[in-house]
Homo-oligomer: A and B are copies of this chain.
């Protein structure tokens, strides 16, 4: 099968939308990626490269990259990343290096849906 060229995905589409006011406490990014099972290795390599950038930014706390157990999940890979504050999160997404990374040609085949959250309840 020949691979179709995907439409370009801008850097803005790789940034979680803002709320009415900036969150001062910790925030959690839940970023869901569309990846065909056959393209897992390509996604994983690209994601690893991009995540190295984020891990080194001020205010980064932790991340967990998840892979769905069922291959027909609409978003098979999901990254859950905690940041100290929304300001730190936004700063990491406002650099030229971020834009260069997420507009790399390889990313166009992996649409994502980044959403920023606050933790309401924590147990265990």
A positions within 8 Å CB-CB of B: 16-20, 23, 27-28, 30, 44, 48, 51, 55, 60-75, 77-78, 80, 82, 86, 113, 115-124
- Note all chain B residues with C-beta closer than 8 A to A61: 124
Asked if residues A117 and B86 are in contact (CB atoms below 8 Å), the reply is no
Which one, B27, B51, B60, B66, contacts A69 given CB within 8 A?
B27
- Of B23, B68, B123, the contact of A62 (CB 8 Å cutoff): B123
The answer on a CB contact under 8 Å between A18 and B69 is yes
Query: Are B123 and A68 in touch, CB under 8 angstroms?
Result: no
Q: Which residues of B contact A30 (CB under 8 A)?
A: 30, 66, 78, 80
Instruction: Tell me if A115 and B70 are in contact (CB < 8 A).
Output: yes
